[in-house]
Amino acid sequence: MAVYTDVPPEELSRFVGGYDIGETVSCHGIAEGVENSNFLLRTTRADFILTLYERRVNPHELPWFLGLMQYLAGQGLSCPRPVADRAAATLGTLAGRPAAITTFLHGAWPRDIETFHCEAVGAAMARLHLDGAGYTAERRNSMGPAAWPPLLDACRASGDQVQHGLVAELDDALAFVGPSWPGQGAHPALPRGQIHGDLFPDNVFFIDGRVSGLIDFYFACTDWFAYDLAIALNAWCFDAHVAFCPDRARAMVRGYESVRPLGAEERAALPVLATGAAVRFLLTRLYDWINTPPDALVTPKNPLDYLGRLRFFRALTTPPEWL
């Protein structure tokens, strides 16, 4: 949760004046998103989200992200739609940072996850996968399997201080997942396209039990559709004690397949994809845990939440009964 950047009022006013969206009424930092600074921008016309891109986002990749959001919104998906300024540009500069204004989505993300949420997010994800088909520009997943060994190496010195034996367990997991990944050796490639890549509960808004919008597309990339589902199984289908909730997983898959049925190869690959997703979030959280100074504004997330998930998915027989 973070607002990193303060925007001087006169700079804000000049920036907003470049858009045909009315006069600024108020602009408040909001605690959504840990990667960028987000503001609720209220004008005489409507509410908007103003995003200042902080570290972690390569400015040269912003056009891909904003282009995807614009494309998906045009397909009827409920996601933030970048607003073009008077010169037709969706990206500007504010307070020395790349900045964009997007439409405001109503709704709230679910604090207490129930089965129906999982079914709904499965369906919304499948729609995103179908809707993205006409956005042909590709973005490789910079946090895919190739990125994991160097991350683990960077955690080698301190990883076992977080939990004894963690580094060896991660070595073992990488040795299993790497050669088992779709497209490696005899493992077939899977249907692929634009995926969200980070469809955690705080990125899905609900109103009255129905999905009202998907946000935060800054991990989106072009990858296996089933990997997006594998990430969401990690993110939604465990309780606070990291116990797997088969009802949630069953509902999520059912919701997904109500829109886009999974192929046999995707189904067979889900356990290894879900194991890989657990490794990916365990590694990035471990890395942040080790590298976040005690006085930082951002509280790192506990990596060990993902160790339980990793163990669960690695132990799966194929196919698990909930699939």
Task: Identify which range of 43-51, 107-115, 137-145, 203-211 contacts a second copy by CB under 8 A.
Answer: 137-145
153: contact with a second copy by CB under 8 A: yes
Q: Cα separation of 148 and 212, whole Å?
A: 34
- Please check whether residue 212 is in contact with residue 78, taking contact to mean a CB–CB distance below 8 angstroms: yes
Q: How far is the CB of 291 from a second copy (least distance, A)?
A: 6
For residues 269 and 182, the answer to whether their CB atoms sit within 8 Å is yes
- Residues 83 to 112 in contact with a second copy, rule: CB under 8 A: 84, 87-93, 96-98
From 246, 261, 211, select the one nearest 77 (Cα to Cα): 211
Q: How many residues bind a second copy (CB under 8 A)?
A: 52
Contacts of a second copy in 58-77 (CB under 8 A): 58-64, 66-67
| Span interacting with a second copy, options 57-65, 108-116, 183-191, 195-203, rule CB under 8 A | 57-65
Does 115 participate in binding a second copy (rule CB under 8 A)? no
- Residue 139 contacts a second copy per CB under 8 A: yes
Asked if 291 is part of the footprint of a second copy (rule: CB under 8 A), the reply reads yes
CA distance 275 to 174: 10
Do the Cβ atoms of 199 and 232 come closer than 8 Å? yes
Instruction: Pick the binder of a second copy from 43, 75, 103, 292 (CB under 8 A).
Output: 292
Is residue 138 involved in binding a second copy (CB under 8 A)? Answer: yes
CB of 53 to a second copy, least distance (A): 8
Position 3, amino acid: V
Is 163 among the residues that bind a second copy (CB under 8 A)?
Answer: no
Q: Does 284 bind a second copy (CB under 8 A)?
A: yes
Is 13 among the residues that bind a second copy (CB under 8 A)?
no
Closest distance to a second copy from the beta carbon of 292 (Å): 7
Burial code (b: 16+ CB inside 10 Å, e: under 16) for 117-150 equals: bbbbbbbbbbbbbbbbeebeeebebebbbeebee
Nearer to a second copy, 98 or 276 (CB): 98
Kindly tell me which of 85 and 119 has the beta carbon lying closer to a second copy.
Answer: 85
Under 8 Å between Cβ of 220 and 68: yes
Q: How far is the CB of 276 from a second copy (least distance, A)?
A: 15
Contact 70, 2 (CB under 8 A): no
How far is Cα 273 from Cα 144, in angstroms, rounded to an integer?
11
Of residues 215 through 234, those in contact with a second copy by CB under 8 A are: 222
What order do you get walking across the sheet with 24-30 strand by strand? 24-30, 37-43, 47-52, 97-103, 92-94
- CA–CA dist 109, 211 (Å, integer): 9
Between CA 68 and CA 59 the distance in angstroms is 15
* 22 lies in the binding site for a second copy (CB under 8 A): no
Nearer to a second copy by C-beta: 31 or 87? 87
- Which residues make up the interface to a second copy (CB under 8 A)? 53-64, 66-67, 84, 87-93, 96-98, 136-140, 142-143, 146-147, 149-151, 153-154, 156-158, 222, 284, 287-288, 290-293, 296-297
